[in-house]
């Protein structure tokens, strides 16, 4: 993710070496990382709820 952020920050308007497709790829990868993080949070929440339910049943 840091590599992607660095790619985006290096793609300034004055930077003539920046390739627009590289910037598009970096932005797409950043969005993919955001979706993966969101999915991971949902998995952890559901696991926590399931574990809580199991503990309630055991008690």
Residues 29-53 as b or e (16 or more Cβ within 10 Å = b): beeeeeeeeeeeeeeeeeeeeeeee
Q: What pLDDT digit, counting tens, does each position of 11-36 carry? A: 656 655 657 778 888 889 999 999 99
Residue 48: give the domain boundaries.
Answer: 2-58
For the chain, how many structural domains are there in total?
A: 1
> Is the pTM here over 0.75, yes or no?
no
Residue 7: predicted pLDDT? 72
Residue 26: predicted pLDDT? 86
């Amino acid at each position: 993710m840091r590599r992607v952020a660095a790619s985006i920050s290096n793609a300034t308007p004055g930077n003539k070496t920046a390739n627009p497709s590289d910037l598009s790829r970096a932005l797409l990868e950043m969005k993919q990382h955001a979706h993966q993080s969101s999915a991971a949070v949902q998995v952890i929440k559901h696991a926590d709820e399931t574990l809580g339910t199991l503990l309630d049943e055991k008690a």
